[in-house]
Structure 1
Amino acid sequence: MPARYTFGGDEHLFIEVSDEMSLDAFFKSLSMATGVRESRISGVTEICPANASFQVKFNPDIIKPDDILKEVKAIEAAAEKAEPVLKTRIVEIPVFYGDPWTHETLMRFRERHQEPSGTDLDYAAKINGYPDVEGFIAAHAGSPWFVSMVGFVAGLPFMYQMVERQRQIEVPKYLRPRTDTPRLTVGHGGCFGCIYSVRGAGGYQMFGITPMPIFDSSQTTSYLRDFMVFFRPGDIVKFNPITREAYDAAVEAVDKGTFTPPIREVTFDLREFQKDIDGYNSKLEDVLHGH
């Protein structure tokens, strides 16, 4: 399906690859955004990728709207023929599911929730057909997730679960947003997972918390000294359930500058993934653990 193009004011072109998220749409969107960047079109000042779309900011004094449209449409034609292969990285993120901090927060905002009598994990397990929270956590952590977009607030990753559509976890957002969410909360809304990079308002269901900072404007965190934002579109994330003891140890390691997230370089091939999703995911996990 061809992309949909709309102008925003005098200096923005919005390109919508699909009105629903899929890895195919994400790959085409990322390929087009990369193509625009590499083409170095005169007058383009910024490119902002999203889940299945992207926006181009341009200077209309340098390039006319009709000309930028023509340039990007030519890049779309090239993207249609591009190989759906991405050189990226896979990273393991420790998660303390059902932690006391998100639990305290969700209890403060129960009147804004669909089912005030339980927790966010209880609700997510129930509506996704899992018999208990343990089964739900196993499904959440059992398959990798694709980072399809980084933003909304600085460094926040939106993540898309790498399983068949019918197996994807889906949970609606709170009926009314909270005014508080702990920093580094692992959340979920609709079909997207996320990690709250900073403390603040939010409406996603809260499943747990990670000890691993993913945004540091001071750039004092050991692995964020070169760049304050950890994630980038195309990253593959594998959640690792941890205990309270492991969480405390990781927080201490972060403070001492000795925490290093497990990261491996990997080449992701969308066609091979779609042939055998579980088998491909298993191979990705083998790469992560050095097998």
Structure 2
Amino acid sequence: MQTRFSFGGDEHIFAEVDESMSLEAFFKSLFITNAVRDAKIKGVTEICPANASYQVKFDPDLIEPDDMLAELKRLDSAAEKSEPIIATRIIEIPVLYDDPWTRETLMRFRERHQDPNGTDLEYAARINNLDGIDAFIKAHSSSPWFVSMVGFVAGLPFLYQMVERKRQIQAPKYLRPRTDTPKLTVGHGGCFSCIYSVRGAGGYQMFGITPMPIYDPNQKISYLRDFMCLFKPGDIVKWKPIERPAYDEAVADVEAGRFSPTIRDVSFSLTEFNRDIDGYNRKLEGVLHGH
């Protein structure tokens, strides 16, 4: 995997780890951005990891651009030789699939969709050769997903499915973006799922909604008091399908300040994962539920 570096003016370096997204490319990007942070390189002001790339902003008065590039190339070389293991978290996210709010929204914007006669779930199930909505929900929720980057709007995670590429869910974005998406919608575009942290425009297919806030600029929600955004790159998400009564109960718990998400610390080995993907995913789920 040969990283391609380019300068952005006098104070940015962009590194493309690979042209296509893969867990290997993501891991290398995450390893290097963590190493840049840990090295406390003089002059570095911002570090931004992405799906298969990263960008570093620096003060050219404190470090020469060529010196910054040399530091990144040194870390890149170290990443090639390192064992791909990260200390991270696995987070359970409850989802009400086929909910009334995203359904109402998607019907309002049907003329912008590839299939004006069905729902986003029905369309995604069909193009992924799955036998209806229930089979699609099982395929979407049965395996964990990596948070590969956070952005677009504050707190929005991009999630990459942790299965072999041939089993990954694929779904194109809308033909034209919507002007409305409900807050906390679980969406999908290309090979990435996401959670819309706020209400607003969007073009991803809409599959459901979670009652669990992931962004709180006021930091009043108990698990968001330390930082307003829940996710960071490297987090692992496990979807938990729920029915409407459980959704309503969770919303009431959030409003009453008693909602407590299931979050566990975990060590993730890419080598062990690749050796037995389904077995490793079962092991992660065991960690999540204390088995």
- Pairwise same-fold verdict (TM > 0.5): yes
The answer to whether the aligner puts 1:135 opposite 2:160 as a matched pair is: no
- Cα distance in 2, alignment partners of residues 192 and 200 from structure 1: 18
Deviations 1:50-85 (CA, angstroms, capped at 9, x unpaired)? 111110001112212111111110110111111101
2:12 is matched with 12
CA offset at residue 213 of structure 1? 0.2
1:1-291 → structure 2 map (5 Å cutoff): 1-291=1-291
CA offset at residue 167 of structure 1? 0.1
- Cα distance in 2, alignment partners of residues 224 and 37 from structure 1: 23
Worse overlay, 79-88 or 200-209: 79-88
CA offset at residue 38 of structure 1? 1.4
CA offset at residue 9 of structure 1? 1.5
What TM-score does the superposition give when structure 1 sets the normalisation length? Answer: 0.99
- Cα distance in 2, alignment partners of residues 264 and 182 from structure 1: 28
CA offset at residue 265 of structure 1? 0.9
- Cα distance in 1, alignment partners of residues 210 and 195 from structure 2: 8
CA offset at residue 35 of structure 1? 1.2
CA offset at residue 151 of structure 1? 1.1
- Cα distance in 2, alignment partners of residues 70 and 266 from structure 1: 33
- Cα distance in 2, alignment partners of residues 138 and 129 from structure 1: 13
Worse overlay, 57-66 or 162-171: 57-66
- Cα distance in 1, alignment partners of residues 37 and 216 from structure 2: 26
State, as a whole percentage, how many aligned pairs show the same letter: 70
CA offset at residue 46 of structure 1? 0.7
In the alignment, residue 99 of structure 2 is paired with which amino acid? D
In the alignment, residue 263 of structure 1 is paired with which amino acid? I
- Cα distance in 2, alignment partners of residues 188 and 258 from structure 1: 30
Deviations 1:141-182 (CA, angstroms, capped at 9, x unpaired)? 010000110111100000000000000000000000001100
- Cα distance in 1, alignment partners of residues 256 and 142 from structure 2: 30
Deviations 1:218-256 (CA, angstroms, capped at 9, x unpaired)? 111121111111011111110000001000000000001
CA offset at residue 282 of structure 1? 0.6
Deviations 1:171-217 (CA, angstroms, capped at 9, x unpaired)? 00000000110000000000000000000100000000000000000
Segments of 5+ residues of structure 1 without an aligned counterpart are none
- Cα distance in 2, alignment partners of residues 41 and 223 from structure 1: 31
What TM-score does the superposition give when structure 2 sets the normalisation length? Answer: 0.99
- Cα distance in 2, alignment partners of residues 108 and 258 from structure 1: 35
In the alignment, residue 115 of structure 1 is paired with which amino acid? D
Segments of 5+ residues of structure 2 without an aligned counterpart are none
Size of the aligned set, in residue pairs, is 291
